[in-house]
Chains A and B, each alone.
Chain A
């Protein structure tokens, strides 16, 4: 079989039905754009959560009347904890408020409490919750905070979104293969007489199938390139603005996604989608 001839036949096929080729390419591009956006957003959210998780701190607030023995008992239970006295806490608060921090100077007395801060990044949420509950029962402790009211629901929401995202990605992939294979089916149907004549003069199934597969591959790669171009330029334009607007994203670093690898994967996925869709549609016209 001559590769040049088969390649020329594939290009000829695209020229014979330009509308079908455009529809297949656009469908693949759109599906990959949606998939790429969902995957990028999911990856960023998971990375943000992981970065935030690393910085998570368990803060134990002490009663003003806590005795030295009670304080020692709390410190011993926490282990490697850092003590933050109420005066230091007030200074930190003043610093974080900037110019507005001056109003704190007018307070008649320091309303904050002495506290122990323990970094708990990387620990299991259940372990942190268990430790917090245990410490909360110690005498001299008035409150324990580790963002429990926020951390748990956000993690559950992200897990739900991750599963829904995967399901939607699978659905979009399936719908794309069906849609594109129908587009190919129309193109193959339009050339059924040609296929019948080729079979009559002794063409093998592979000889007939390969140009259609090459056509599917080329249209898939073109769709992948379009999606990659759109996503790549979207990322380049939006990421710096997102960094400036949401300070939490700063923890992810300047290049949180392997952009080049992801875009190349999109192009590859486009080729694979086109190949699968065209492969599915040619078979039924080979029975002559």
Chain B
């Protein structure tokens, strides 16, 4: 599903990723670990084309995205859901509108949007808060909304960058269980985290980065 071949990325003169090669299969759950500044976020950004690699090849779903045209990036992203530590929700829009945005971008009909968004909110346990403002929700609930937005169009891949970084232990468990459920339904999930507790609790494949290099692959 995701393949890196000798990928290099640097910011100005500072190397962020050096000679990274890896492979993630369809339906896998992978933890991307390492200390802050190890290159976890950069690696995720390369997958959804928020950054471009300087050298090497990256294949996502069989497509070489190292050579993808800018105009093709939106279509790639429609098959990748992304979740961030800071949720990135629109405060002026309701929970429903935040999740609906993904489908509006795809040009879906109002009827289909209503049905899919409510189904998705039910799946993350927030159907009763569809009309609420995200600002009135707890951190865990906000992250559930972000996950619902990322998954409402059934992407093949879900990338989560420190999704529990702002949450207390109970909410962390809640979100991780949700991600595990998503993975169990067939979505490939990559979670960047430096939370050792999570890694020990969930015995999943672990890809460790140190100073931009893959130093451990628990495949």
Residues of A within 8 A of B (CB): 1-2, 5, 16, 193-194, 196-205, 207, 288
Contacts and interface: CB of A to CB of B under 8 A. Distances in A.
13 contacts: A16-B92, A193-B88, A197-B88, A199-B74, A200-B48, A201-B101, A201-B102, A201-B150, A202-B78, A203-B105, A204-B71, A205-B74, A207-B105
Contacts of B76: 202
B77 interface: yes
Interface string B119-157: 000000000000000000000000000000110010000
B170 interface: no
Contacts of A202: 74-78, 102, 105-106
Interface of B: 48, 50, 71, 74-78, 82, 88, 90, 92, 101-102, 104-107, 149-150, 153
B78 A197 contact: no
Interface centre among A1, A2, A201, by most chain B C-beta atoms within 10 angstroms, is A201
B114 to A, nearest CB: 14
**Top 6 nearest A-B pairs by Cβ distance?**
A202-B78, A202-B77, A201-B102, A203-B105, A202-B74, A204-B74
B149 A201 contact: yes
Nearest to B105: A203
Interface centre among B74, B76, B82, B92, by most chain A C-beta atoms within 10 angstroms, is B74
A201 B117 CA distance: 15
Interface SS of chain A: helix
A18 B91 CA distance: 19
A193 B74 contact: no
Contacts of A288: 50
A112 to B, nearest CB: 84
Contact of A198 (B92, B105, B153): B105
B104 A5 contact: yes
Given A201-B153, A202-B75, A202-B76, 13 more contacts: A5-B107, A193-B90, A196-B88, A197-B101, A198-B101, A198-B105, A199-B74, A200-B77, A201-B102, A202-B105, A205-B74, A207-B74, A207-B105
B107 A2 contact: yes
Given A207-B105, A288-B50, A197 B77 contact: no
Contacts of A204: 71, 74
Contacts of A193: 88, 90
A2 B103 CA distance: 12
A202 B78 CA distance: 5
Interface centre among A193, A196, A203, by most chain B C-beta atoms within 10 angstroms, is A203
Nearest to A2: B107
Nearest to A203: B105
B90 to A, nearest CB: 6
A16 B91 CA distance: 13
Contacts of A197: 88, 90, 101
B70 to A, nearest CB: 8
Contacts of B77: 199-202
B3 to A, nearest CB: 22
Contacts of A198: 101, 105
A199 B88 CA distance: 12
A199 B74 CA distance: 7
